[in-house]
Chain A
Amino acid sequence: MGLLIDRFDVFASGFWLTLQLCILSGVGALLLGTLVAVLRISPLPPLRWVGTAYVTVIRNAPLTVVWFFAAFGLPALGSNADFLNIPGLNVVFSRLSFDLPYFRFAVIALSVYTAAFVCEAIRSGVNAVPPGQAEAGRSLGLTFGQNLRYVVLPQSWKAAVVPLGSVLIAMIKNSALAGFMGVVGDLSNAAQELVTAEGEAVIPVFIGIALGYLVMTMPLGLLLDRLEKQRAVAR
């Protein structure tokens, strides 16, 4: 176990990169997922079809396949995902500005994949809001957008928090795939090198990796529990 202390720098730098990847993908997934959820519940049928098609395709494709399309399909189409190189962000998340596009592809792949699940989690929250609420909003003359923003979505949050938490925690664990798709130095990748390149024993290294992911997922879980309790409604 002294290994964890001796080689802490390896685990720490891997943890930091994985954390960056998860933060960016999480934000992207939440934004994109909310958008797709709104598409799915909108009153216009074409918008609903687009939303449903997105969820059906992406949710049923394995993450590896989605990631392959991002990491190898996008270059074939000629894109290096440079649009993600956002001027303010790339100061904190330096990997966004690299020539090597694989970190940006990883963010895209994880966001797109997780957004499908976020969409469904939010939709389950929206379904939990009594329909009378939306009807009352419409009868007051609120537009669809105002209805969503002021009446439905705020109330849907309580029911959506729990599945959203699961989805985000799953995304954090899925980020371990980044090591296989060209991103060098993320937590599971960097630590596995300790085993193969330097011949350290396998079990302490993998305990270290698991602890790294636990440090990311447990606070997230606790935060979501807190949020759920805050919104508690006396029934």
Chain B
Amino acid sequence: MRIKRLVALAAMTAMAVSAAACGGSDDNTGGGGAAPEKTFEAGTTMERLHKAQKITIGTKFDQPGFGLKGLDGKPAGFDVEIGKIIAEELGIPEDKIEWVETQSAVREQVIEDGKVDIVVATYTINDKRKERVDFAGPYYVAGQHIMVRADDNSITGPDSFKDGTKKVCSVTNSTPANNIKKYLANEAQQLVLFGGYQECVDALAGGQVDAVTTDNVILLGYVARSEGKFKLAGEKFTEEPYGIGLKKGDDKFRDFINDVLEKIFEDGRYEQAWKETAGKFDPVLPEPPAIDRY
């Protein structure tokens, strides 16, 4: 009994020490040197964030290429890179960014409640959302696309669903799912919704559905991984402008972010952010969209 207790105690001590060591090393990684000196107009959000040396950014944790949480617990992707650039322009070092997961349904709520400062989370700009939050950007225009089995030539675009025989799969409560409904003859017979993309891909491979629809960058990731089993059909048929969500009425902050975006479209940081992240699925560099200053 005594030996067992000693062994247990030793094991616990070893675990505690290694946990402390893991925790300790976090502080040494990440973050460049001192924050670069920046000055902002008094009373603006930029000044507040710069003084606090902290920014909370909402992003997705489950979108490959845009915001995907890695094994180290931090998200990575194109949205994440844009967020880091904005923080850098505010004079806030990278390790002072707090990343919060903002799923589609709660993005307006967390901005209104002030839980996050900005949201960069594959956030499509639309008028209904503009009633509750403001958008800077767009910084990327995605498009909805359709993925089919490589040997299936019967689907050439969203109109192929009008005859009511083809079945399509998408993700619950997403913009692409709502868009494709317009092209379906009978929603109950043709539309399948799952919680994530992988189930849709499995259903496509198994033959339960004939197509998967969502944004083109996400589909390209699956096509790339499918070893030739899948392909994209037709052209992209919607325009989904991704914007940066912020508190409604904060015009100075919006102008600041818009200025930052225009700057990075020119100076190569946009290109670099794309290449390191979503560019691995879609090597074609996107055309920087025209910023909408409304």
Contacts and interface: CB of A to CB of B under 8 A. Distances in A.
Interface of A: 72, 75-76, 80, 95, 98-102, 179-182, 184-185, 189, 192-193, 195-199, 202
Interface in B84-126: 104-106, 108-109
Contact of B189 (A80, A99, A202): A99
Contact of A184 (B109, B174, B191, B202): B191
A182 B188 CA distance: 11
A182 B132 contact: no
B192 A100 contact: yes
B172 A192 contact: yes
Contacts of B178: 193, 197
User: What 6 pairs between A and B have smallest CB-CB spacing?
Assistant: A196-B173, A196-B105, A180-B195, A75-B206, A197-B178, A199-B128
A182 B192 contact: yes
Nearest to B195: A180
A100 B172 contact: no
Given A75-B203, A100-B189, A180-B194, 5 more contacts: A76-B206, A100-B208, A100-B209, A184-B193, A199-B129
A192 B108 CA distance: 15
Contacts of B173: 192-193, 195-197
| Dominant secondary structure at the B interface | helix
B192 A185 contact: no
B132 A199 contact: yes
Contacts of A193: 173, 178
Contact of B105 (A75, A99, A185, A192): A192
Contacts of B174: 196
Interface of B: 104-106, 108-109, 128-129, 131-132, 167, 169, 172-175, 177-178, 187-195, 199, 202-203, 206-209
A180 B172 contact: yes
B188 A95 contact: yes
Given A76-B206, A197-B175, A181 B167 contact: no
A179 B207 CA distance: 20
A185 B192 CA distance: 10
Contact of A185 (B188, B194, B195): B188
Contacts of A76: 206
23 contacts: A72-B199, A72-B203, A75-B206, A75-B208, A98-B188, A99-B167, A100-B209, A179-B172, A179-B193, A181-B194, A182-B193, A184-B191, A189-B193, A195-B173, A196-B105, A196-B174, A197-B173, A197-B175, A199-B128, A199-B131, A199-B132, A202-B106, A202-B109
Contacts of A198: 128
A95 B269 CA distance: 52
Contacts of B108: 199
A75 B288 CA distance: 43
A209 to B, nearest CB: 13
A191 B174 CA distance: 14
A100 B194 contact: no
A198 B206 CA distance: 32
A100 B199 CA distance: 15
Contacts of B189: 98-100
Contacts of A181: 194
A199 B111 CA distance: 14
A202 B192 contact: no
B162 to A, nearest CB: 16
B109 A101 contact: no
A101 B194 CA distance: 14
A211 to B, nearest CB: 20
B192 to A, nearest CB: 5
A102 B105 contact: no
A203 B172 CA distance: 19
Contacts of A195: 105, 173
Contact of A189 (B129, B172, B175): B172
Contacts of B208: 75, 80, 100-102
Contacts of A99: 167, 189
Contacts of A80: 208
A76 B202 CA distance: 10
Contacts of B202: 72
A185 B187 contact: yes
A193 B128 CA distance: 14
A202 B194 CA distance: 21
Contacts of B169: 182
A67 to B, nearest CB: 11
Given A198-B128, A199-B129, A184 B188 contact: yes
A24 B193 CA distance: 21
Nearest to A196: B173
Contacts of A180: 172, 194-195
Nearest to B170: A184
Contacts of A182: 169, 192-194, 199, 203
